[in-house]
Amino acid sequence: MVRNSIASAGSSTGYLVLAATPGNGITLQSDSNGDGYLDTNVFKTGSSALAPVWLRLVRNGTSVTGSYSADGIT
């Protein structure tokens, strides 16, 4: 998870979450309009991606991208 500030718990805007779950596979969600709520599914694999899986968030300036891999290489 990434957020813009840790100053105020629960009130920071600009969230980004990359998660692997048993029922929904891998999902990358973001707060696209800065209101503090996750409102955009950037991608969602469904149940096709099975654990174990590598999750990666990369920050480049003000942009953050997420990816996943079954082997940590590809």
What tens digit of pLDDT does each residue of 2-41 get? 777 766 655 667 788 899 888 888 888 988 887 878 888 8
- pTM, 2 dp: 0.74
Instruction: Tell me: cis bond preceding 52? Omega within 30 of 0 counts.
Output: yes
DSSP E strands in 1-74: the ranges are 16-21, 25-30, 40-44, 54-60, 63-69
pLDDT at 32: 84
Beta pairing class for 25-30 and 40-44? antiparallel
Instruction: Give the three-state DSSP class for 55.
Output: strand
